[in-house]
Amino acid sequence: MESFQVGEFTFPLDLSKPLYEQVLQHIRHAVARGDVLLGTKLPSVRDLAQQLKINPNTVMRAYQELDRDHLTETRRGQGTFITSDLNTVSQVKKDLAFEAVQAFVSTMKQLGIDRTTAQSLIKEVEWHE
């Protein structure tokens, strides 16, 4: 897996998974984790496509989806910016946490672990805060 630094973003790209989803998820996670300041300008489609050496259609598709979720805002002639709206950011954080929990649940199911056991495992695990 190769890693690319574009502006304030680091993009590890894995060719065995859909590229559009990876671009989308990296930006979502970067915002939810607070790695990127709110209101930050995203790299232009041209810059990101050139730096990652990927099809510009892939970048455009990811940007459109971010816009649709209101995580970014495209201002005409100026570019695409991360939202400054804290509510949107906390919603994205919640969505990502929910996705992670769902992944956890399906792994537990595959292992044949029931809900009560899984819940007690969560209680037992150390959080290292």
Partner 1 sequence: MNSALEINNLCKSYGSKKALSELTVSFPEGQVTGLLGPNGAGKSTLLKSFVGLVKPESGTIRVFGQQLSWKLNADISYLPDRAKWYKFHTVEHALSYAHKILPSFDLSRAHQMIKMMDLGLADKVSTLSKGQEARLHVILCLARNVKLVLLDEPFSGIDLISRERIIQSIIDSMLDKQQTIILSTHEIHEAESLFDHVVFLDQGHLIQEGNAEVLRQENGSIESIYRGLFR
Closest separation in Å from C-beta 1 to partner 1: 11
Report how far apart, in Å, the C-alpha atoms of 98 and of each of 39, 93, 110 are. Answer: 25, 9, 18
Site size toward partner 1, by CB under 8 A: 18
Is residue 39 within the footprint of partner 1 (CB under 8 A)? no
The CB-of-70 to partner 1 minimum distance in angstroms stands at: 24
What distance in Å separates the CA atoms of residue 5 and residue 11, rounded to the nearest whole number?
A: 6
Q: What are phi and psi for residue 11, nearest 5 degrees?
A: -120, 100
Per CB under 8 A, 54 contacts partner 1: yes
Pairing, β 79-82 against β 9-13: unpaired
For partner 1, the binding residue among 17, 33, 94, 115 (CB under 8 A) is: 17
- Give the residue with the Cβ less far from partner 1, 3 or 116: 3
